[in-house]
Amino acid sequence: MVQAYRADTENAGVGPRPDTRLQALRRRLTSDRGIWRRGIILALCSVLLTLVMVFHAEIPNAIGNLGSLIETFLPWFGVLLPLLLVLGLVRRSATALIALTLPVAVWLNLFGGLLFADKSGTGGDFTVATHNVNAGNPDPAGTAQQVAGSDADVVALQELPSGKVAAYEDALADRYPHHSVQGTVGLWSKYPVTDSHPVDIKLGWTRAMRATVTTPEGPVKVYVAHLPSVRVKLNAGFTANQRDDSADALGEAIADEPLERVVLLGDLNGTMNDRSLNAVTAQMRSTQGAAGDGFGFSWPASSPMARIDQIMVRGVEPMASWTLPATDSDHLPVAARVRLGAG
């Protein structure tokens, strides 16, 4: 009796120990079996999103160029990730949240380097800029002067109407004494421009050119191109066949180029992810991918969603790449600094 009394008094006022957070979570997971059963559809959406991003190159173009359409806007698949996260939390689904780690990991592997890493560096001895000025641009002189304000050594312009070429020439004459216009594309340079010719990209009229720019570091072959536009139509999908044929022709011309150092400037109406531009992208480096800060979207200028204006190089080292302030065009100008000389 005395011993029982002592035990009662020793334990008096001592309640059960509070659970740790880990124990509480463990108890909740084991008691609420619905946390695993809910959100199956959300988990399947995450798996499907993962498969699309991993195997995008396997999606056929036979029906409406679906593969190219997906690849054009592939970075924007990342917008779905926060949505799936919120829905998973609302549903209180462990299954959905665990499945979400798959597309998150794949997207970060594909685009994390562009989003979170500034690859731009110092140095470089050759700066270039390119701009689709828009045929309906109401202020050609102002647009030309804005692009020239980048202090680029070479400026390439696309979509030049014949009636406005003189306005661009006058606006750029002081800074760029050397230039050549072929069809609707033109090249302006601080250094001598020679051997300028149209490049046949299978359109029937001139929308691409090449010329040799003689820099202090030696000659550089500069290509300027404006590939055909693409459209998304409900009855036809992604209409890009003409653009694809022109890209193949441009790729052949660059592959046959004997000069070691090559720079391509232009509106390619496609992103680096689009497999239909492989004839070009397989043999050249994107300055934005190699030395840019962020995605560098250039179109549409009011709310950029895709990088279709490209600066690509072969035989030179990209050092930095960036977009320029908006002009009266529907595209943003883009610029890059590269290193031609050794060291």
Instruction: Determine, yes or no, domain membership for 256.
Output: yes
Are 154 and 102 found together in one domain? no
Lowest-confidence segment of 81-90, 228-237, 316-325 by average pLDDT: 228-237
Instruction: Determine, yes or no, domain membership for 102.
Output: yes
pLDDT the model gives residue 74 = 95
Query: Under a CB-based contact definition with an 8 Å cutoff, are residues 132 and 156 in contact?
Result: no
How much of the chain exceeds pLDDT 90, in percent? 78
Are 17 and 78 found together in one domain? yes
How large is the average pLDDT for residues 213-219?
A: 97
From the number of C-beta atoms within 10 Å of its C-beta (0-12, 13-18, 19+), residue 302 rates as: exposed
Are 146 and 42 found together in one domain? no
Instruction: Determine, yes or no, domain membership for 2.
Output: no
pLDDT of 130 > 60? The answer is: yes
pLDDT in tens, 283-313: 999 999 999 989 999 999 999 999 999 999 9
Are 234 and 309 found together in one domain? yes
Q: Which of 66, 97, 116 is the last residue of a domain?
A: 116
Are 111 and 131 found together in one domain? no
Give the domain extent around 263.
Answer: 126-339
Instruction: Determine, yes or no, domain membership for 105.
Output: yes
Residue 305's domain is classified under what CATH number? 3.60.10.10
Are 112 and 132 found together in one domain? no
Are 102 and 179 found together in one domain? no
pTM of the model: 0.85
pLDDT in tens, 75-96: 999 999 999 999 999 999 999 9
Confidence of residue 114 (pLDDT cuts 50, 70, 90): confident
Are 111 and 157 found together in one domain? no
pLDDT of 264 > 60? The answer is: yes
Are 158 and 244 found together in one domain? yes
Domain count, the chain: 2
Instruction: Determine, yes or no, domain membership for 188.
Output: yes
Are 252 and 146 found together in one domain? yes
pLDDT the model gives residue 113 = 86
pLDDT the model gives residue 31 = 59
Confidence of residue 119 (pLDDT cuts 50, 70, 90): confident
113 compared with 176, residue with greater pLDDT: 176
Confidence of residue 34 (pLDDT cuts 50, 70, 90): confident
Instruction: Determine, yes or no, domain membership for 40.
Output: yes
Instruction: Determine, yes or no, domain membership for 1.
Output: no
pLDDT of 196 > 90? The answer is: yes
The number of CA neighbours under 13 Å toward the Cβ of 292 is 27
Instruction: Determine, yes or no, domain membership for 51.
Output: yes
**Secondary structure (H, E, C), 73-99:** CHHHHHHHHHHHHHHHHHHCCHHHHHH
Q: How far from 153 is each of 11, 102, 128, 215, CA to CA, in Å?
A: 86, 45, 6, 9
Q: Which of 84, 116, 148 is the last residue of a domain?
A: 116
Q: How far from 54 is each of 66, 67, 94, 104, 145, CA to CA, in Å?
A: 15, 12, 24, 12, 43
Are 231 and 314 found together in one domain? yes
Confidence of residue 62 (pLDDT cuts 50, 70, 90): confident
Lowest-confidence segment of 41-50, 185-194, 266-275, 334-343 by average pLDDT: 334-343
Mean predicted lDDT score pLDDT of the chain: 90
Are 130 and 112 found together in one domain? no
7 compared with 194, residue with greater pLDDT: 194
pLDDT in tens, 138-148: 999 999 999 99
Q: Which of 116, 138, 163 is the last residue of a domain?
A: 116
Lowest-confidence segment of 26-35, 203-212, 321-330 by average pLDDT: 26-35
Confidence of residue 240 (pLDDT cuts 50, 70, 90): confident
